[in-house]
Chain A
Amino acid sequence: DQQVKQNSPSLSVQEGRISILNCDYTNSMFDYFLWYKKYPAEGPTFLISISSIKDKNEDGRFTVFLNKSAKHLSLHIVPSQPGDSAVYFCAASANQAGTALIFGKGTTLSVSS
């Protein structure tokens, strides 16, 4: 049973436009959420995170929104750039020592120029 779901396997966006990647979760114990970006032949790299005490966190072109009641989070990239083309993974954890991050299956973002 998937606790973290990224229902869109792929997303195509034009350069300069907004990219919105979505993630849903089922475990109400999750209180920390992260987004990772992965290029081919490389390991995932951390992008941005959000704690459940917040509903928004910004870092440059990247903003993550958290809707706890809907158990939904989204990553907004504005403006999108061709270098943003990668696989984006959503991950979540519960506040229990040693509990692993649970990852979604990823969304492949393609930004065309």
Chain B
Amino acid sequence: KAGVTQTPRYLIKTRGQQVTLSCSPISGHRSVSWYQQTPGQGLQFLFEYFSETQRNKGNFPGRFSGRQFSNSRSEMNVSTLELGDSALYLCASSLWGPDEKLFFGSGTQLSVL
């Protein structure tokens, strides 16, 4: 069974631009969560989608948004990029929810210059 796939692996953007990251969950998994990891920080929860609905959201500004499609694939968008948005963005999928064992993708490394 294929794992969680995230594209692209690396991105370089400049301040003020926007970016869209993509995530394909494990087949059959309906919950997709997004996390941000920065140096010295743990994994900070962004949001979770289940059956195309956002069920839970972390403490991030409205510039961070996401969506989920009917095939469970998910995208997250960051608008008006700031230098502090440089991070590894991880997507994770699970069968039912974000509070059970999560399967993570390899992440998208975003650098904002």
Give A99's nearest chain B residue, CB to CB: B99
Give B102's nearest chain A residue, CB to CB: A101
Q: Is the CB of A98 within 8 A of B98?
A: yes
Contacts of B40 in A (CB 8 A): 105
Output the least CB separation between A82 and chain B (Å).
22
Kindly identify, within residues 65 to 113 of chain B, every residue whose CB is under 8 Å from any CB belonging to chain A: 90, 92, 97-107
Give A32's nearest chain B residue, CB to CB: B99
| Known pairs A43-B4, A93-B99; A100 contacts B48 (CB<8 A) | yes
For chain B, which range describes its interface: under 10, 10 to 19, 20 to 34, or 35 or more residues? 20 to 34
Assembly CA distance A95 to B98 (angstroms):
11
For chain A, which range describes its interface: under 10, 10 to 19, 20 to 34, or 35 or more residues? 20 to 34
B61 on interface, CB distance cutoff 8 Å:
no
Assembly CA distance A1 to B106 (angstroms):
28
B62 on interface, CB distance cutoff 8 Å:
no
Give B46's nearest chain A residue, CB to CB: A100
Q: Is the CB of B42 within 8 A of A41?
A: no
Assembly CA distance A9 to B85 (angstroms):
23
Give 20 CB contacts A-B under 8 Å: A41-B106, A42-B107, A43-B92, A43-B107, A44-B43, A44-B104, A49-B101, A89-B42, A93-B100, A98-B48, A99-B98, A99-B99, A100-B33, A100-B45, A100-B98, A101-B45, A103-B35, A103-B42, A103-B43, A103-B44
Residues of A within 8 A of B (CB): 4, 6, 32, 34, 36, 41-46, 49, 89, 91, 93-106
6 new A-B pairs (CB below 8 Å) besides A43-B90, A100-B58, A105-B41? A49-B101, A89-B43, A93-B98, A94-B99, A99-B56, A101-B102
